[in-house]
Amino acid sequence: MTVETAPKAQVFSLKTPLLSSGRSDLTVARTDQMGVRLKVYAEGGENGLHTHTDEDHAFVILEGQATFYDRDENPTVVNKHQGIMLPRGAFYRFQSTG
């Protein structure tokens, strides 16, 4: 006989130190269908155009500004307290611009 366990909520924090250089990447919550990662970029970003074929991505800007570029180099500026949803298969790159 298999005993099923009920799923449980996970509480996580978005507090993180600001960096003067480099970047950090911390998984703050995960299930079998979704992961939440907290990434901090002092400068730069993910500057190589790429896509994820098996997962959607969402980015939330907690401080500063980021500019996202699609396959045709069309820019989308995302400011503090804004986010962007990138569905699987969408090509993107981004850089810190604020």
pLDDT the model gives residue 63: 87
Is this model's pTM higher than 0.85 or not? no
Consecutive 10-residue averages of pLDDT for the chain (98 residues): 85 86 89 88 82 92 92 96 96 90
pLDDT the model gives residue 27: 92
**Interatomic CA distance for residues 9 and 67, integer angstroms:** 33
pLDDT the model gives residue 84: 96
pLDDT the model gives residue 9: 92
Which amino acid belongs to residue 46?
E
